[in-house]
Amino acid sequence: MSEVTEGGASASDYLPPADIRVLSLALIRHPSTAALFVTEYVDPARDETLHRPAGGGIEFGETSEQALRREFREEFDTELEVGERLGVLENIFVFNGRPGHEYIVVHEASFLDPVMLGHGPFPVLDAPTDVGLWRPATGADLPRLVPDSLADLL
């Protein structure tokens, strides 16, 4: 959720719009550990830490692949190799106390810069309260992975 609103607010201040959004998210697995690269952020209304594969909104006239490349340049100042489209998810949710509705195009991807394979966390450049990090493939007490329907693709 590394959206920045008009006032420059971070994702934790994000309120879902009243219309349906279309997003593109990247499933990036660490080549050594199989960890998943995610953005970690907090839903302030629930005080809940969440993990979501990194990516963001698709702009008018942009393909889902182009959106991923742009989002990773904006958020992490890095480049991606975008692979196969894994599916499209519908996500109806509540964030920051407000309902939201999204369609999410999910792609396999990999980092072109080996620096991104390091330990992290990696600051999200356009959302200063959020970070990118490698989420272990298994483990106890991990934050919830969203959208919930992502489990079907994993």
Q: Please tell me the distance from the alpha carbon of residue 127 to that of residue 130, in angstroms, as a whole number.
A: 6
Mean pLDDT across the chain: 91
Beta strand 48-53 with 144-145 is parallel
Please identify which residue in the block is written with the tokens 């109806």. 92
Residue 136 neighbours by CB under 8 Å, 6+ apart: 33, 35, 142
- Rounded to two decimals, the pTM is 0.89
Q: What is the pLDDT of residue 82?
A: 98
Radius of gyration, CA atoms only, the chain: 14
Q: What is the pLDDT of residue 140?
A: 86
Report the pLDDT averaged over residues 74-80: 98
Torsion on CA atoms 113, 64, 107, 154, rounded to nearest 10:
130
Report the pLDDT averaged over residues 9-26: 82
Please identify which residue in the block is written with the tokens 């992290």. 120
Per-domain boundaries in the chain: 22-152
Q: What is the pLDDT of residue 128?
A: 86
For residues 128 and 100, the model is more confident at 100
Q: What stretches of 2-131 show up as alpha helix (H) in DSSP? A: 64-76
pLDDT band, very low/low/confident/very high, at 102 (cuts 50, 70, 90) = very high
Tell me the three state secondary structure of residue 16.
coil
Cβ atoms 122, 72 nearer than 8 A: no
Question: Residues 24-69: pLDDT tens digits?
Answer: 999 999 999 999 999 999 999 999 999 999 999 999 999 999 999 9
Percent of the chain with pLDDT over 90: 81
Side chain identity, residue 144: R
Q: What is the pLDDT of residue 12?
A: 65
- Matching CATH number, 22-152, of 3.40.50.300, 3.40.50.460, 1.10.10.10, 3.90.79.10: 3.90.79.10
